[in-house]
Amino acid sequence: MILTTTFNLLRKADACKESYTKLRKALKGVKDTEPINLITILEVLNLDDALWALRATEQNCDKVARLMASDFAEDTLPLWHKYYPEDKRPAEAIQAARDFANGLITKEQLNIARAASDAASNTAYYAASYAAAVHAASAYAYASAYAAASYAASDAASAAAYAAYYASYAAACDAGKEKREQIFRSYLQQ
């Protein structure tokens, strides 16, 4: 799916002044109402800014943002299972997020899975002796709680950004940066 924004939409959504200025300089010939591909924002700025721009797209990006958030969270499942091998709640919440994005389950069913994921996150947070497990749990909580459960496209976009942010901690900070960029590109180059 090709997702675009414009300088007008970015301003309206209160884009970061520094990133907006840098993008404006790099795309000096682009008019305020001309489409800007989110891949361009990734290339000119960074993944965080490209994910943020999901909240200011001309197209409805709700489904893409929810699926992307699920992928970011899923990428940290091996770390979760390293510390909690029998706990399937985060994986189930991620699947529920995907099912909700694809119209296969109701919001109520999603909320049940989200609650289970939140419980797993809280369990890990309070019992963890490993910081990475806490961050992995946070990735699932954000991906399921914010991405999957919210209806608004801007909330789903925020969830993708939060899931990527927490996944980066769970994956030893920037070790998974290329993987997250690859996930982002895979959704927007179809």
- pLDDT tens sequence across 123-138: 665 555 455 556 666 5
47 and 119 housed in the same domain: no
Which residues are bridge partners to 43 per DSSP? none
**In contact, 168 and 176? CB cutoff 8 Å:** yes
Nearest to 166 by CA among 130, 133, 188: 133
Q: Which pLDDT score, from 0 to 100, does residue 43 have?
A: 96
pTM value? Answer: 0.79
48 and 68 housed in the same domain: no
pLDDT: is 65 or 148 the higher one?
A: 65
66 and 111 housed in the same domain: yes
43 and 82 housed in the same domain: no
Q: What is the mean pLDDT of the chain?
A: 79
* pLDDT confidence bin for 165, thresholds 50/70/90: low
162 and 113 housed in the same domain: yes
End-to-end CA distance of the chain: 5
Q: Which pLDDT score, from 0 to 100, does residue 18 have?
A: 97
- Cα dihedral 45/179/102/152 (nearest 10): -30
Which of 41-50, 75-84, 116-125 bottoms out in mean pLDDT, i.e. has the lowest?
Answer: 116-125
Q: What residue type is assigned to position 24 of the chain?
A: R
Of 14, 33, 56, the residue at which a domain comes to its end is 56
Residue 120 is assigned to a structural domain of this protein: yes
Q: Give the count of domains, the chain.
A: 2
pLDDT: is 122 or 97 the higher one?
A: 97
Residue 181 is assigned to a structural domain of this protein: no
Q: Locate 100 and state its tokens.
A: 């909700």
Nearest-5° Cα angle at 61, 31 to 157: 95
Residue 180 is assigned to a structural domain of this protein: no
Residue 28 is assigned to a structural domain of this protein: yes
Cβ-based neighbour number of residue 122 at 10 Å: 12
Q: 52 is in which domain, residue-wise?
A: 4-56
Which of 18-22, 91-95, 102-106 bottoms out in mean pLDDT, i.e. has the lowest?
Answer: 91-95
Share of the chain above pLDDT 70, in %: 69
pLDDT: is 182 or 130 the higher one?
A: 182
45 and 73 housed in the same domain: no
